[in-house]
Amino acid sequence: MIIHSYMLKNMMRSYDRQLGNGQRLERIKKHLSPLLTQEGDQEDDHGQTKRDQLVQQISREIMDNLLGSGSTNPIVQEIKEELDREFPEKLFFSYGASDKELKILRSTEQGVTVLSPEDRAQVMTRIEEITRDKVSRTLICP
């Protein structure tokens, strides 16, 4: 049996995609589990609380899956543009091959560096605020 190099490359690419999707699903599950337990414990007034939960879920999905993937989604592009206006250095988002967390890189004259934990926390907080605001403004709920 002959195994061609292109077949091996395709198989490895497929495995890499599956691994990335599994990691994203794990992150989503981790963030959604508190929301699911809260829904069962409380009686919602179906109004604003339901909408807020939906906005939070969509925002988390955008933050976890689309920011690091290089998506051309218009909402993601607006978020990145707003971040570029607020933070002077160019920020890049990516997931490493074995990382489960979003890496935020900063482009400076010295090269590309990973943000310090304090700066990362500040940027993530701001990303969350911007994302929730964008999702809330674009979400149509009855």
Domain extents in the chain: 5-138
Q: Residue written as tokens 């976890």? A: 64
**pTM of the predicted structure, to 2 decimals:** 0.58
Helix (H, G, I), strand (E, B) or coil at 111: strand
Is there a contact between 102 and 95 (Cβ–Cβ < 8 Å)?
yes
Specify the pLDDT at position 42: 52
pLDDT tens for the 142 residues of the chain, in order? 787 888 888 888 888 888 888 778 777 777 777 666 655 445 445 567 778 888 888 888 877 776 666 667 787 788 888 888 888 788 877 776 666 677 788 887 888 888 888 888 888 888 889 888 888 888 776 5
At 84, phi and psi to the nearest 5? -65, -35
Specify the pLDDT at position 139: 75
The edge-to-edge listing of strands for the beta sheet with 111-114 is 90-94, 103-108, 111-114
